[in-house]
Each structure stands twice: as C-alpha cells, then as structure tokens.
Amino acid sequence: MSPRIAIAHDYLTQRGGAERVVLSLARAFPEAEIHTLFYAPDQTYPEFRERTIRVSPLNRIAAFRRDPRLALPLLAGAASAMRIDADIVIASSSGWAHAFPTDGRRIVYCHSPARWLYLPDDYLGDAGRLSPKRLAVGALGPGLRRWDRRAALRADAYLSNSTVVRERIRRVYGIDAPTLFPPFSPAVAEGDQERIPELVGWAGPDGAEGGHHLVVSRLQPYKHVDRVVEAFRSMPDRRLLVIGTGPEKARLQSLAPSNVRLVEGLSDAQMRRAYGHARTLIAASHEDFGLTPLEAGAHGVPTLALRAGGYLDTVAEGVNGMFFGTATPEAIGEGVRAISEQAWETQRIREHVARFSEEIFIRRIRDIAAEQGPA
C-alpha cells in the first residue's frame, strides 16, 4: 500500500516562486491534499482550485487572507494546531509549514528560515523604529525563535532550495540540509502567448512591440525594484516592464517615468509573452534562489543579476547572463548598457536552464519521499 502523502505550505495568497514549487509538488504527488494557513484563490495561481486545500480557522478573516503578516502574533499558535493526518508530510516552508504537527514523517523543503526572525531588516524594509511591525517583531522575536528551532529539529529530512539557504540553515538550526534546486515552471516556459492590454501601443523607438527590459518581482523594499526604476530614468530610450504586486506598488508608480510600466495579475500566457518579447531580465535583489533567470532563460532571454545570493546558483556569467556588483541605479544602468551590447546564444541559454527542469525536481523529491517511507 502506498504511503499517504500530504503537502504543507505557509500560505497560498500570492503568485511567486514558492507557490510554483507547491504546484510542482502537487504534480509530483497528485493525490496529496494541501494544508496551508491561508488560501485566497483570486490572489494565487488558478491551478490550486483543482486541489483539495485545508486551511486554518484564521482563513475566515479577509484581512488576514489579503496580508498574512497582519496575523503575525497568532500564526505560531495557528501553525501548531494544523495537525496533518498523513504518512509523509512534505512542507514547503519559509517559517510556518515546517511546524505543522503530524504523526507521520516530515520532509521540510526550506525556502529560507523565517526572514522576520533572522533577517528582520529584509522583512521590515524602511519601517521606522517605532512602527507597529517593528515593535511586534521585536516583542515576539525571542519566543518565536525558540518555537521555530524546536519545529525545525523535529523534521526527519531537511532540504534547502539554494546554496545560500543551505548555509543559513546550518547557521540558524545547526542542520546540514542538502540542496534541491526548485524548478522553473513549464507553464511559464511553454504554451501560447497572450497580449497584455496595458502594453498595447507601448512600442520601442522603431515602433515594434517587445524589446523591453523586464523585472518580475514582489514589490517589497528588499527587492530593490525602486533602484531599477531609477536607473531607467536616466535611460529614456530604453523601456522597463515591471510585473508584480506588493506594499511598494503605490510608491513605485509615483516614481516611474514614462518609459516604465507596472502591471500585475498576469496569466501564464501573458507571462510567456512578457518573457518571450523581452530583451533582458533584470534581477536586483538578494534572493534566496534565483528563479526568474530560469524562467527568462527558458525563452532564451539573458539575465542581468546582482552578484549575490541565489543568482550565483542559476546565472552562469557569459552563458545565460552577467552580474553587477551593487544594487544602485548607477551600477544597474551600466549593467543594462553592457548586457545590451553582448551577443547571446539562445540555444546555449536554454541548455543551461534545462538543468533546473521540473522533471528533474519531481524525480528527486519522489526519491526522497520513498527513502523516508511511512513512520
């Protein structure tokens, strides 16, 4: 008899790389139920509607579904009450799902130890010293760190999603977590394309659609999207398309010059068009794993990335992209001009990113689950 497998994830309330990993896990284990603190169908990928989703009682509160950070004081208790009846639980976690209790075996796929506990400046951004968020994290931090470490040490197997996260897990928990790179999404890489209404009539100097530079990112302070926008203020002959949403959206819209467009909520077909017609992807934040260069690379598009974090795993200089040293408008601008002058081999880019395919990821996670077996 095959073991009963369940999938756990912190919350399904947005469209991002971690949520795409959950979709890949769901394809690896098509019978698995998904357990999560919050689920907002209209805010995340539509494929989740086809799955059985188990949520916490806090999901009834609309404000928490819109922004789970508002529930921070309640989340440890809610996570501790999310008991899962399964032989094996695969937890896709950035701080909460690794703590969902179970009598079965627990495999944790860690995107990062909780940023609000161990990298608070990334989480809080420009929040002032007396802001409610900073005060809450300061007050709750010591107790949550003890709770978090206990949860991590209960895992039967711990996996990291990148080299930098593996080192972070070792430092925070004392666990050596082998790296299993997440896959880029076949939904973004392959299929039909659909025009993006906001871009109709937004053409380059030669009147042709496409040829834009691209940012795909959550709009949070540590993502440095504002630095990219500022870089393009001094390059009016080049166009920048920013795809994403988040707390920085209004500020970025106020900063954006006429050669910068911001859009959100695109379908996979529209994402394929945005990637497929791009000249370059720009990735300016310190990421745990560099997923967007893989999605761009599946279309043969090179990446200009910050020389840091997970991009060191996914960007091979001179093969599928190049780096800049600091996240400043000046360095980004110099990088845009340099990458635009270089000739790129589309096939070579695609061959590089094929090493991060979903097929490879699914085969490895199934092997790991089989090694664990039922408790």
pLDDT band at 5 (very low <50, low <70, confident <90, very high): very high
The vertex-181 CA angle with 180 and 187, nearest 5°, equals: 130
Q: Is the pTM here over 0.85, yes or no?
A: no
Each residue's pLDDT tens digit, 90-107: 999 999 999 999 999 999
Least trusted range by pLDDT, from 68-82, 178-192, 214-228: 178-192
Rounded to an integer, the average pLDDT of 239-249 is 94
Tokens, residue 215? 């940012």
pLDDT band at 374 (very low <50, low <70, confident <90, very high): low
Q: How far apart are CA 264 and CA 44, in angstroms?
A: 12
pLDDT for position 136: 66
CA pseudo-torsion sign 251, 253, 254, 260: positive
Type and span of the H or E element at 273: helix 268-276
Rounded to an integer, the average pLDDT of 45-61 is 97
27 CA to centre of own chain: 18
> In this structure, how many other beta carbons lie within 10 angstroms of the beta carbon of residue 183?
25
Tokens, residue 13? 């309330």
Look over the chain and give the mean of its residue pLDDT values, rounded to a whole number: 92
State which fold the 5-183+357-372 domain adopts.
Rossmann fold (3.40.50)
Q: How far apart are CA 15 and CA 18, in angstroms?
A: 8
pLDDT for position 203: 73
* CATH code 3.40.50.12780 for 186-355: no
Tokens, residue 187? 């939904």
CA pseudo-torsion sign 267, 271, 276, 279: positive
Give the start-to-end residue ranges of the domains of the chain.
Answer: 5-183+357-372, 186-355
Contacts of 141 (CB under 8 A, 6+ apart): 116, 117, 120
The domains spanning 5-183+357-372 and 186-355 adopt the same CATH topology: yes
Query: 312: phi > 0 → left, psi -120 to 50 → alpha, else beta; which?
Result: alpha
Each residue's pLDDT tens digit, 273-287: 999 999 999 999 988
Contacts of 130 (CB under 8 A, 6+ apart): none
pLDDT for position 141: 81
